[in-house]
Structures are given as C-alpha cells and as structure tokens.
Structure 1
Amino acid sequence: MIDRCNQMLRRLPPWGLYLLGAFYPAWLLYLGLTGGSGPDPVKALEHGLGEAALQLVILGLFVTPLRRFTGLNLLRFRRAIGVLAFAYVTLHLLVWLVLDVQILSQILRDIAKRPYITIGMVGFALMLPLALTSNNRATRWLGPRWRQLHRLTYLVALLGGLHYVMLAKGFQMEPLIYLAVIVTLLLLRLPRQTKRRLA
C-alpha cells in the first residue's frame, strides 16, 4: 500500500503545490472584499495567512517522521512546502505592516515592546536565509553546510508556535495544540541526532 502511494506521489510534480498554494491567499482576499470574513477583514486575512504558514511549517516537519515510521516519502515536496510557508509568512507580515498598523513609528514600537511580535520578527528573519538557499544552485554551493543551515527550520517552527500561543487572548487550546505538535516533532528527531553524533 505504501509503495503504491509512493509511486503515485512520484508522478505528481512539486510545482503543482505552488499552484494550489496560490488559491488560499486569493480565497482569503476574496472573502475580505465580499464581506465573508467577518467585521474585521484585515485581521481575518492576517491571522488566516499566519495560521496557514504555521501549518505548512508543521507539514514540513512531518515529512521525515512520516518516511521514518511509515515509509511514506514526501521528500520531493518538502522544498515547495517550505517556500510556500515563507510566502505565506511574508504575506502575513505585509498585511500587518501595510493594512493593519500602517504607521512606521507604531510598527517599530510594537516590535520592540510586544514580545509576540518580536518573536514573530525573529522567526521571519531566520526564514530569509532558508528561502534564499532553497534552490539547487545554493545546495551545490553550500555543500554539507546547506543541511546545517536548514536546521534553522526547527527554531523557526518553535518560534512560530510560541508566537501563536502568545498572540492568543486568554486560554485557547488550538495554539497550545500547535505548539505541542511542534515540540513532539522536534523531540522525535533527538534520538536520531544523538545516534549520528555517536556514530
């Protein structure tokens, strides 16, 4: 069954994910323009993009455990998942900057004084080198350092989960579930990393 799934996945082009990924922001924008996203369409667009970005980051973390524990191989789609996550985070940030806050001095104050925004900006900054090196040329140029650099993904995921938890008002289970999933996926990698060091 797994072999059949892997054979089917090998026939699917990774670029198809980019096409699918373009629909969700367009759908959120359509809802905002037509009144389908509630009384605050800017916040709905901002939060929708941010949550989808976090979901993609988590999906990227799932790729290795899925192959390790079930044999299902999604490795050829991991780059597209990561690039889409970065695109969604960038749109999330742009909506906050351009449509939500708009005032530069207020933006700088928020980054400095609101921890969840500071954490979000640090996460975005760490995603920049990952996005810039998500191509074959960078992989060849960096060699073994490419894999070391892209371990920043783990920190990005953790910061994204913390950003979501701190953003939520009051006690909400959904952000905590996201963070718990991220921590679990990171912990699953610890034994493997330890074995590599001992080898």
Structure 2
Amino acid sequence: MNSKVINEIKIKDGRVLTLVEGDITERNVDVIVNPANSYLQHGGGVASTIVRKEGNIIQEESDKIGFVQVGSSTITSSGILPCKSIIHTVGPRMGEGNENEKLSKAINSCLGLCLRKGFESISIPAISSGIFGFPNDKCAKILVNETISFLKNLEDSSAGIKLVEFCILGKDTLQAFQYEFEKSKPEF
C-alpha cells in the first residue's frame, strides 16, 4: 500500500507533525510505534501486522521484556522493517477507568522514549482505538494535542525529534485525525 500525506502542522524550530494514510510497517522513519498490550503478546491489530511482516525477533525480544504498565513504553529492534526500532506503547482499553489520563501518559511516554534514544522521526498509529475500543474522536484529540504540546515544549532546537507522524488506516479514524489537525493548527 502506498502511503499518502493528508495534512501537516509546522510546530516550531523546524519540527513537523504529519498525518499519513498508510501501512505503518512500510514507513521509512527512525522508529514506529506498536500499540501493545501489557504482556507484549502481539496477536491482534497493528501488533500482529508488525510481527507478521517482521518475523519472530520482535516477539522474542518482547517475551524477554515481559510486562509493561498501561501508559508506559518499551523498545525492541525492528528486524527487517525499514525503521531502526519499535517502541511498544501500552494504551488503555476502554472501560478500565481513567482512560483519557492513561492515553495521555502513553503518548508522552512514547515520545519521551523516542527523544531519549535520539531518534528524529517517529510514526504512531491511533493508540488504543481499534481493538482496545477507544473512540476515534477522543483518541485523535488526545494524541494530537499531547504531541503538539510535547513538541512545543522541547528546549533544544538543534536536537531531538524533527518529525512526528500519525500513520492511520481506516476512514473513520482518518477523519477524526484530520478534524483534529485542522482544528489544532497553531499560529506561529
């Protein structure tokens, strides 16, 4: 599947937030995000696509890590995928309580790990939507707004994350993200 850029927000210091329609496993960025479950068993949704296309190394490394709290992130290699690494971020399942706060923690954990590892580009799916049941509109609002805030608050303009993209599949999810991009364009 060919990826298509849908929208873009220029943040500051040359940092860009992009909305892409496509397959995250094909993105040529430093790191992609896997919306994982706490046990890092990659059997459904985006996680199963990543493992199926990559092979067994990601699941083997995940098994060694074991458990990750909701709202937290960890990292593995990427096997044969075009990215350098995979950040596994555990978002909330709808109905478990404090979902908005947990999703905010998850995206900030993911972006923080990306920054600490020195990656300049990251591709993120709609964490917690899909099989975790988080509503698309709430998901898009939290992920887009938290990412803009994170990028605006970075101190050093010469280092760190330059590109954050949301790589989305599915018409309804894409529409929710497009709405948030349009509404969130900052004035600089």
Normalised to the residue count of structure 2, the TM-score between the two structures is: 0.26
Normalised to the residue count of structure 1, the TM-score between the two structures is: 0.25
Higher relative contact order (CA 8 A, sep 6+): 2
| Greater share of residues in helix | 1
| Greater share of residues in strand | 2
